[in-house]
Amino acid sequence: PPALTAIQEEILALKKERNAVILAHNYQIESIQQVADYVGDSLGLSYQAQAAEADVILFCGVHFMAETAKIVNPGRTVLLPDLDAGCSLSDSCPADRLAAYKAEHPEVYVVAYINCSAGVKALSDVICTSGNAMKIVNQVPADRPILFVPDQNLGQWVSQQTGRTMQLWPGSCYAHVQFTTAAIEKIRLQFPDAPVVAHPECVQAVRDLADEVCSTELMVKFAKETPAERIIVVTESGMLHRLQKDVPHKTFIAGPTNTCACNDCRFMKMNTIEKVRDALKNMAPAIDVPESVRTAALTPIQRMLDWSK
C-alpha cells in the first residue's frame, strides 16, 4: 500500500480517538478511499452503516447516503465532511411534490431509488439501489401500479429488464446524462478491444451501446471476470481508483463526455481530505433526522435490505 500523507495519518489517529468508522463511496477521491474502512456502492454502504458498532460513522459520500446511515443506525453520530454535498437527482424529487402526486394517485406503489431525501423515503413503499433494483421491482405485488422515483434512466432500464411497466418520475443525474454515444464511440475506436461498462443512470442510447450496465460495485466484479485487459468505465471518475486498487493488473479508461476526458460529480468531490480530518476533529457537521421522518423512512429501507439479501 502507498505511504500515507501526514493528514491521512492524522485522520487514522483521530479515527481511533473518536472510535469512528469511515465509510466511503466509490466516487470519493483516492486519498479518502485510502483511509476508509469500507469503500463501496450505496447498497454495500447501507449494510455497513446498519452493522456499524463504532460510536461515530464518518460518511464520505453525499447527503442522502449519510442520512440513510442515520436512519438505519440512529444510535451513532453520523458525520458528513461537507453538508453541501447534495445530489441533483435527489433534488429533482422534492417530498411535497411526491406527496401531492400520491394524493392524486393513492393506488401507486412507490419504489424509490436510494438517491432521494429522507422525506421522500418516508413516502415510499420500498427503496432500491442500482445494485438491487431488478430484484426489488420483481418483488412488488403484481396488482399494484408502480411509480419509480426519482431517476427516469434507472427506472427505464429496470422496466426494460423486468418487463414491468412503471410510471417514471422525470429526474436524472446531471453527471451521468453528460455521457453521449458520440463521445463513447470515439474512445471505442481508440480501444477497440475494451468492453464498455456503464452505470444505469446514463441515458438509454449510452446504455444500449454498453457491454454491461451495472452498479459501481458490480463494475468491480465485471472487471475481475471479463477476459479483457482494458475496460472503458462510463461513470463518475472516482470509480477508477476503486477499480485500479481491486484489479491492479488491468487498465481502466475513463468514459469521456463531449467536453471532458472524464466526469466528476461536483457533489461527491466537495469532500476533501482536509474536511474529513476536520469532521473528526470537530465532530461536525453531524446529520440529524427528525424521529417521525426517520421511522417512516426506515420501513421501506428495511424492506429493501430484507428483500435484497
Give the integer Cα–Cα distance in Å for 235 and 248. 19
Binding to ligand SF4 (CB under 6 A) within 191-220 occurs at: 201
Going by C-alpha positions, the residue among 64, 85, 80, 83 that lies closest to residue 280 is 80
What CA–CA distance (Å, rounded) separates 119 from 293?
Answer: 6
Nearest to 58 by CA among 286, 290, 267: 286
Q: Which triple of cell numbers denotes residue 98?
A: 411526491
Closest CA to 25 of 238, 287, 305: 238
φ/ψ bin of 289: left (φ > 0), alpha (ψ from -120 to 50), beta (otherwise): beta
Cα–Cα dist 10/13, whole Å: 5
Question: Does 173 participate in binding ligand SF4 (rule CB under 6 A)?
Answer: yes
The correct pick among 67, 82, 201, 212 for binding ligand 13P (CB under 6 A) is 201
The item of ligand 13P, ligand SF4, none sharing an interface with residue 174, based on CB under 5 to 8 Å by kind, is: ligand SF4
Per-residue binding letters, 71-90, with ligand SF4 (x by CB under 6 A): ----------------xxx-
**Grid cell 458498532 in the structure block, residue:** 53
* Among the listed residues 265, 279, 287, 298, the single contact to ligand SF4 using CB under 6 A: 265
Answer whether 61's CB lies under 8 Å from 24's CB. Answer: yes
- Taking the complex as a whole, how short is the minimal distance between the CB of residue 224 and ligand 13P, in angstroms? 17
CB 59, min distance to ligand 13P, A: 13
Taking only Cα atoms into account, the Rg of the chain, rounded to an integer number of angstroms, comes to 19
Q: CB under 6 A: which stretch of 129-137, 138-146, 255-263, 287-295 binds ligand 13P?
A: 129-137
Q: From ligand SF4, ligand 13P, none, which one binds at residue 42 (CB under 5 to 8 Å depending on kind)?
A: ligand 13P
> Applying CB under 6 A, does 115 fall inside the site for ligand 13P?
yes
Provide the mask over 216-235, with x wherever binding to ligand 13P is found by CB under 6 A and - wherever it is not. Answer: x-------------------
CB of 131 vs ligand SF4, minimal distance in Å: 13
**Between residues 59 and 267, which has the closer beta carbon with respect to ligand SF4?**
267
Residue 75, Cβ neighbours under 10 Å: how many? Answer: 8
Residues 270 and 265: their CA atoms lie apart, in Å, by 9
Does residue 115 belong to the site contacting ligand SF4 (CB under 6 A)?
Answer: yes
Residue with cell 432500464: 157
Show the DSSP H helices in 247-290 as ranges. 273-282
Q: Which does 213 bind (CB under 5 to 8 A by kind): ligand 13P, ligand SF4, none?
A: none
Q: CA 217, 120, 171 angle in degrees (round to 5)?
A: 65
- Does position 180 interact with ligand 13P (CB under 6 A)? The reply is no
Task: Single out the residue of 174, 218, 283, 307 in contact with ligand SF4 (rule: CB under 6 A).
Answer: 174
Among 39, 236, 285, 293, binds ligand SF4 (CB under 6 A): 236
Sheet holding 196-198, edge to edge: 212-213, 196-198, 230-234, 251-254
Where is the binding site for iminosuccinate, in residues? 25, 42, 113-115, 130, 199-201, 216
**Contact residues: ligand SF4, CB under 6 A:** 62, 87-89, 115, 173-176, 201, 236, 265, 267-268
**Contact residues: ligand 13P, CB under 6 A:** 26, 41-42, 115, 129-131, 173, 199, 201, 215-216
